[in-house]
Amino acid sequence: MVMSSLRSWGHLCLLLAVVAVAAPPVHGEDGYRLWLRYDRISDAEKLQVYRKAFSSLHVAGSTATLNVARRELRRGLEGLLDTDVPSVQAPQSHTILVGTPAQSDRIAELGLDGALNRIGPEGFVLRSMTVDGHPQTVIAANQEIGALYGVFRLLKRLQTHASVQDLDVADAPNVEHRVLNHWDNLDRTVERGYAGFSIWDWWKLPEYKKQRYTDYARANASLGINGTVLTNVNADATVLRPRYIEKVAALAEVFRPYGIQVYLTARFSAPQEIGGLETSDPLNPKVRQWWQDKVDEIYEKIPDFGGFLVKANSEGQPGPQDFGRSHAEGANMLAEALAPHDGMVMWRAFVYSNEVPEDRAKQAYNEFTPLDGEFRDNVMVQVKNGPIDFQPREPFHPLFGAMPETPLMMEFQITKEYLGFETHLVYLGPLFEEVLGADTYAKGEGSTVATVVDGSLHDYEFTGMAGVSNIGTSRDWSGSHFNQANWYVFGKLAWDPHAGAEPIAREWIRRTFTNDTTFIQPVTEMMMASRQAAVNYMTPLGLHHMMGADHHYGPAPWIDVEDVGREDWTSVYYHRADSAGIGFDRSTSGSNAVSQYYPPVKEKFDNLDSIPDKYLLWFHHLPWDYQMDSGRTLWNELVYRYNAGVDTVQWMQEEWARLEGMIDDQRYSQTETMLEIQEQEAKWWRNACLQYFQTFSQRPIPDRYPKPPHSLEHYKSLEFPYAPGI
């Protein structure tokens, strides 16, 4: 029996070995590499072309940034080409030559002065040239960071199977300050973060610098992001204490070779909280001196410190108005302290007073436009994309175009606070593109938000774009694989606000998943449809601010002042549904918020014959039987839109199911599960909202659409005390 058992065991082992050899390996990917996947190029023809074109590399210089460029280039080439690509002392045939004129006489002698003069400090030239009789690929820049950006650009071409013949690229960022805003707290929780805890391990800093910090810097540099605000806008003055400045300096040391400056959020009351002063009045000499000393202390440890981001006099945060001073007086005090060090103040325009105004959407414009021209030269006012708060859809903020003497910095939200957290597949490229492409008419037709942000409309001295980060300790960085695309598209649009969301999506898919067009095309279509799907099943036709209180998870259009204690934190304040109709009247006959836009925009939004459906209920309160252009009544249009959102998610599921086997099982399965969650929650949004609004419309849901399976009381009873991101 023993021998028989051994023989059986041997047969089983042999069978398993045969199966293991015969079955194709199933490779899983956890998403940690993001879009910097340097796997062997699968296209044999392309592989041979690239191997011939890039047989060696020569990076001229050995500074920290050029060493990073050399490592990245070698890492990328050897992974993609699956062959040794040696560094050579002198350029040979088919060498990649990288450097700046200051670091390399060879580059200085290539006759690139004209191109280099046009690309500024961060731009690069990527060109096929003949040098000393040898064909070479040249990456030249005025500064070393430009050379690194050029290296990433070349590697991207290989990743996406683009041509490398006859290269002639000269590129530079259109926006100077391209910054991530981390809403990370010192206890490592992340406000509105859905990808785990903060990646900044303050307890172990400054001694222990995790590899993840370097990988974070690589990813950002590959997109051209050049700044990071490490701490939450709801600021903690503790980060300004000496021991924390040492910790920040350690991160700055890691980021510096990648061209990334660190910024901190400044709590306006810090002179009182940690400085022992009796006031934080920005005109008080002792307060001004305290900030000057603190700034000097920071720069002693971090010579390239970027400056401060400030949230003041909003949502209970301290600010200059506490002392009877203006936003300009508060910002200028900090700007004065930073100016000798070339530091910047990014002063947020997201403000609303403790007293509820007649229309919260108007408040930032009312507070800031009278201050135009009063801010110091090193102050940028950071403005959210819309006048409320990162809703699934808002019209562009009326401040854009309205402050020609004050540089305005765009603030987008990459983390999906109002768009399904980490589980819904919602590509934000179309949202960003919609806002940037909106015409302000500040100087006539063509005065788009993008021309405000890039400074070309008003000739701003400084320009900037900020994105509220979606990064955390999740192994895939962003809570799901497709959320990485939102970090990616932000970086690309910060570099060039005039770029298109669709080509960026295609590029991201190629770099993240595969170059197979049978995968790229349907996934691009899914991504491009996903944002409108979310708008439809959450807030169609210009509705907004209908999520759960505090946690912002799920539908709660019934939230009233009794629930949250403040009218403009409620849902009913914004949708204003009643027996007569629905919508917030911001027309000239209502709150007149429409008049904050330039006349062509005002007239378009004010007139029911010209306003786009997507903003209809943002600016108008209309009867339930109002006739839409579709021929449906407003009530039936709402029912149609909510169901269309669900239908699109179900279509996305079907499209994804067809792609099984085209990518690794791990990422496929995660996305499949996320889409299942999204379908369930899209139906929840549809059912809860229609059940609630039907109590006012008193109209039936047409027979062709499903009826909510639960009572309104059921939907109201749902509670989520431990929802992430609070």
Residue where the block lists tokens 């990459």 = 414
Token readout for 159 is: 């990743």
Calpha distance 207→215 (Å, rounded): 18
Angle of helix 285-301 relative to helix 327-338, nearest 10 degrees? 40
Nearest to 388 by CA among 366, 409, 363: 363
Calpha distance 127→330 (Å, rounded): 48
Nearest to 33 by CA among 428, 661, 514, 475: 475
Token readout for 265 is: 């959020």
Nearest to 684 by CA among 651, 704, 706, 654: 706
Catalytic residue, from 322, 389, 502, 672: name it. 389
Catalytic residue, from 184, 417, 433, 568: name it. 417
**Residue 533 phi, psi (nearest 5):** -60, -45
- Contact in structure between 120 and 82 (CB atoms under 8 Å): no
Instruction: Decide if 315 is catalytic.
Output: yes
**Range list of H helices, 163-210:** none
**Range list of H helices, 256-377:** 270-273, 285-301, 327-338, 363-368
* 51: enclosing H helix or E strand: helix 44-53
Calpha distance 458→460 (Å, rounded): 6
- Contact in structure between 132 and 91 (CB atoms under 8 Å): yes
DSSP state of 58: E
**Range list of H helices, 120-241:** 144-159, 211-223
Instruction: Decide if 389 is catalytic.
Output: yes
Calpha distance 668→659 (Å, rounded): 8
* 672: enclosing H helix or E strand: helix 665-697
Query: What is the number of alpha carbons within 13 Å of residue 234 lying toward its C-beta?
Result: 11
Q: Which amino acid is residue 726, in one-letter code? A: I
Calpha distance 335→332 (Å, rounded): 5
Token readout for 638 is: 């709402």
Instruction: Decide if 422 is catalytic.
Output: no
Catalytic residue, from 315, 358, 654, 676: name it. 315
- Contact in structure between 619 and 662 (CB atoms under 8 Å): no
In DSSP terms, 169 is beta-bridged to: 126
> Active-site residues: which are they?
315, 389, 417
